[in-house]
Structure 1
Amino acid sequence: MSTQLLHDLIEPVANFINGKTIDPALADELNTHFPHDGEWYQNLLSICNRGTEEGWICQHEAGGIRFGRVIKPSADLHNLSVDIVLMKDVVGPHHAHPNGEIDLILPLTDGAAFDGTSEGWKVYPPGSAHKPTVTGGEAFVLYLLPEGAIEFTRN
């Protein structure tokens, strides 16, 4: 397996997002077009599991969080980067999203939630910030970051 499979799966999402406002309403649209109970989602979950086993997803670890930037921003993904983290009942480092953050929550444990969302899409607008938190078990979180922009802070 390789990043090309992930890239090919993310490309229609990047095309869908292109030109849209990065705000919480976008999550509703993404949940409709790329639902958590659909084949696309199951394929992505399979890639996350296999890529983690093979070591090309979540290849770094710090503070109980496995993480990694799998795809750098590129024109063919409309300058979105793809980061994937694996978290289990943990609060991550505070960071800001200069251009917004588009997240897909893929729980591995029933009831696991990322910042209160149990599965599917969550969107933070440009200028927002948070301490990413997974409660109730373990979950992958896929981050699409416009221009790959993220700013870690000390809050």
Structure 2
Amino acid sequence: MSPPSALHPNHQKLLDRAREFIAEIEDQTPGAELEARLNSEFGPGTPYYDDFSSLIRQGLANNESWISKEGVDGANFRLSDISPPTEDTKYFSILTVYLENDGYEHIAHIHPYGELNCIVQIDPAAEFKGFQGWQGAGWTSPPPGSHHAPSVRGGGLVALVFIPAGRLAFKELKDPRDF
């Protein structure tokens, strides 16, 4: 789904800020090293993280139509395309995913080129299960070829997701331990 031609001002601000962020990390490969860098240089208390967090929270609080609007699995699992992979985004797709509660094993997927997830807690205790364990506010960076089923505990959060080349592969899960 393409973003609407006339973007909400906060959607446009988030997209502009995301493009600036991508310019900072575009030559990095997702994985443990990049995850450490993201949490150190771009985590809570830094300008990028705080801007992303503020715009996402505003979008949710104001029921702005651009943020986490499409139900994937009811009201507790929603997403929105912020941008498809384009030259302007260095061919990263950008989306927001609102998650609350757990139980999304049926939405397991593979990251052919990796993924970057900026975790914005809506509930202070909310955590997202990254490939290195549970993550509250901050970043996860699953490496190329990694896979998971979205898992969250402790309340609601939004993941601002950057996907190289927009590549995700969905796989039917035979056994939750497969992922």
Contact 2:31 / 2:141 at 8 angstroms: preserved in 1? yes
Decide which structure has the larger Cα Rg and report it.
2
> Which ranges in structure 1 are unaligned for 5 or more consecutive residues?
none
Structure 1 runs of 4+ with >3 Å offset? none
| Structure with greater proportional strand content | 1
Q: How many residues align?
A: 155
Quick one: distance in 1 between partners of 2:67 and 2:12? 12
Residue 128, structure 1, aligned to residue 146, structure 2: yes
**Which residue, out of 16, 37, 40, partners 2:48?**
40
**Which residue, out of 76, 79, 95, partners 1:83?**
95
Give the C-alpha shift of residue 39 in structure 1.
Answer: 3.6
Quick one: distance in 2 between partners of 1:123 and 1:41? 15
**Counterpart in 1 of 2:65?**
55
Q: Which amino acid aligns with 2:158?
A: F
**Counterpart in 2 of 1:99?**
113
**Counterpart in 1 of 2:122?**
108
Give the C-alpha shift of residue 2 in structure 1.
Answer: 4.3
Quick one: distance in 2 between partners of 1:24 and 1:142? 18
TM-score normalized by the length of structure 2 = 0.81
Contact 1:67 / 1:84 at 8 angstroms: preserved in 2? yes
Quick one: distance in 1 between partners of 2:46 and 2:128? 20
For residues 8-19 of structure 1, the aligned pairs below 5 Å read: 8-19=16-27
Residue 117, structure 1, aligned to residue 135, structure 2: yes
Quick one: distance in 1 between partners of 2:31 and 2:51? 26
What percentage of residue pairs aligned between the two structures are identical?
28
Give the C-alpha shift of residue 15 in structure 1.
Answer: 1.0
Quick one: distance in 2 between partners of 1:88 and 1:42? 21
Residue 71, structure 1, aligned to residue 105, structure 2: no
TM-score normalized by the length of structure 1 = 0.92
* SS of residue in 2 equivalent to 1:149: coil
- Deviates further, 105-114 or 51-60: 51-60
Quick one: distance in 1 between partners of 2:57 and 2:125? 18
Quick one: distance in 2 between partners of 1:109 and 1:2? 21
RMSD, matched Cα:
1.4
